[in-house]
């Protein structure tokens, strides 16, 4: 892999037999056929009729530079990357020919040459396997898939879900919905002001002198405390109403004492 300098020297000293090269003219005619400078280098390297691992990079550089020179003389415009490669190869050539400068750092000429050799070998390897790949039996050319697809039927199944709780709650909901009714106050124990007024108006005409308010409570409203309270409150409110309208008079001897009333129309 490593292209050592002695190899290069040897190749250089032996000179380049012109008949070993593909003619530069030939290459220039085919210029459009090259996929870049690396491809051209690979083609040039083949003229050395050597294993890629043993090619002389120096010789290759010379060949390439000669090619570029020829193209220039023919006023063929080379793409920039060909010229970049030419410059790099000229540099490489000088590094390979001149004794190494101890002050200069960076890769040696041999290292650079080795890398170029590696690149060429790798590109060649890729081309070889690409050819092998394309030579394989191919689907639709050498072997075949099933001619027609048997339709795979798509079935959408719906999985209905309900839990026991859902079921029970649904039943409970149905069985209890009749039990709901709009909200109303239960009025069993309510003696309204209207009721009291009506009763008082009917009774007051017959009263003579001062009478305790409790005697005006309606029948049947003295059985429970709730009913007494409701009836008393409404009856009292009714007497206030009647006193206001001048139908009767009220009196109370002292705080929390009995409330007495009499008709305004009666004397006494």
Partner 1 sequence: MIEKEKLTETLFEAPPIEQQERMVEAILFASMEPVTVKEIIGRLPHGSEPEIALKNLKKKYESRGVNLVKVGDCWALRTAADLGFLMQKESVEVRKLSRAAVETLAIIAYHQPVTRAEIEEIRGVSVSRGTIDLLMDLDWIKLGRRRMSPGRPVTFAVTQNFLDHFGLESARDLPGLKELKSAGLLDSRPPPGSPELSDEKDAENDEQQTELFNCEDVK
Q: Which of residues 44-83 bind partner 1 (CB under 8 A)?
A: 81
Q: Which stretch binds partner 1 (CB under 8 A): 5-13, 43-51, 132-140, 249-257?
A: 132-140
Alpha-carbon distance of 56 to 64, in angstroms, equals 12
Q: How far is the CB of 93 from partner 1 (least distance, A)?
A: 16
Stretch that binds partner 1, among 20-28, 92-100, 133-141, 251-259 (CB under 8 A): 133-141
Task: Count other C-beta atoms under 10 Å from residue 248's C-beta.
Answer: 23
Residues 134-193 that bind partner 1 (CB under 8 A): 134, 136-164, 166-181
**Can you tell me which of 4, 74, 127, 194 binds partner 1, judged by CB under 8 A?**
127
- Residue 253: its H or E element: none
Min separation Cβ 90 and partner 1, Å: 17
Stretch that binds partner 1, among 21-29, 128-136, 198-206, 247-255 (CB under 8 A): 128-136
**Euclidean distance between CA atoms 112 and 6, whole angstroms:** 15
Nearer to partner 1, 25 or 111 (CB): 111
Distance separating alpha carbons of residues 127 and 46, to the nearest angstrom? 14
- Residue 143 DSSP label: B
* Distance in Å from the first CA to the final CA of the chain: 146
Q: Which of 23, 68, 12, 63 is nearest to 42 (CA)?
A: 63
DSSP letters of 37-99?
Answer: HHHHHHHHHHTT-S-GGG--HHHHHHHHHHHHHHHHHTTPPPPHHHHHHHHHHHHHHHHHHSP
To partner 1, the closest distance from the beta carbon of 42 in angstroms equals 9
For partner 1, give the closer residue by CB, 73 or 161. 161
Q: Could you say whether residue 32 binds partner 1 (CB under 8 A)?
A: no
**Close Cβ partners of 7 (under 8 Å, ≥ 6 residues apart):** 54, 56
Distance of alpha carbon 132 from alpha carbon 204, whole angstroms: 127
Structure-token pair, residue 107:
């890769």
Whole-number Å distance between alpha carbons of 42 and 120: 6
Nearer residue to partner 1 within complex by CB, 17 or 158: 158
- The alpha carbon of residue 74 and the mean position of all alpha carbons in its chain are separated, in whole angstroms, by 61
Q: How far apart are CA 202 and CA 248, in angstroms?
A: 13
For the CB of residue 117, give the shortest distance to partner 1 in the complex, in Å.
11
Instruction: Pick the closer one to partner 1 by CB: 157 or 244.
Output: 157
Give the one residue of 29, 126, 208, 240 binding partner 1; rule: CB under 8 A. 126
At its nearest, how many Å lie between partner 1 and the CB of residue 51? 12
By CB under 8 A, the count of residues binding partner 1 is: 72
Residue 203: CB minimum distance to partner 1, A: 34
Instruction: Confirm or reject binding of residue 115 to partner 1 (CB under 8 A).
Output: yes
Residue number, 17 or 133, with CB nearest to partner 1: 133
CB of 101 to partner 1, least distance (A): 15
The least CB distance from residue 70 to partner 1, in Å, is 21
């Amino acid at each position: 892999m490593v292209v050592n300098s002695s190899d290069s020297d040897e190749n250089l000293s032996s000179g380049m037999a012109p008949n070993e090269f593909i003619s530069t003219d030939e290459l220039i005619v085919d210029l459009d056929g090259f996929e870049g400078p690396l491809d051209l280098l690979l083609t040039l390297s083949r003229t050395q009729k050597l294993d890629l691992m043993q090619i002389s990079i120096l010789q290759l550089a010379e060949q390439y530079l000669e090619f570029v020179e020829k193209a220039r003389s023919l006023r063929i415009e080379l793409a920039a990357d060909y010229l970049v490669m030419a410059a790099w190869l000229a540099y490489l050539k000088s590094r390979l020919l001149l004794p190494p400068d101890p002050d200069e750092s960076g890769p040696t000429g041999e290292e650079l040459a080795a890398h170029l050799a590696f690149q060429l070998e790798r590109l060649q390897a890729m081309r070889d396997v690409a050819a092998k790949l394309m030579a394989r039996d191919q689907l639709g050319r050498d072997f075949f898939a099933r001619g027609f697809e048997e339709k795979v039927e798509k079935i959408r199944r719906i999985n209905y879900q309900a839990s026991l709780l859902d079921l029970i709650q649904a039943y409970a909901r149905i069985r209890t919905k009749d039990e709901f009714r709009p909200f109303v106050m239960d009025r069993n124990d309510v003696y309204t002001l209207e009721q009291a007024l009506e009763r008082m108006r009917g009774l007051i005409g017959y009263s003579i002198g001062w009478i305790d308010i409790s005697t005006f409570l309606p029948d049947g409203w003295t059985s429970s405390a709730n009913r007494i309270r409701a009836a008393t409150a409404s009856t009292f409110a009714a007497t206030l109403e009647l006193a206001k309208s001048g139908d009767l008079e009220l009196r109370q001897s002292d705080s929390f004492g009995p409330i007495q009333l009499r008709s305004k129309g009666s004397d006494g």
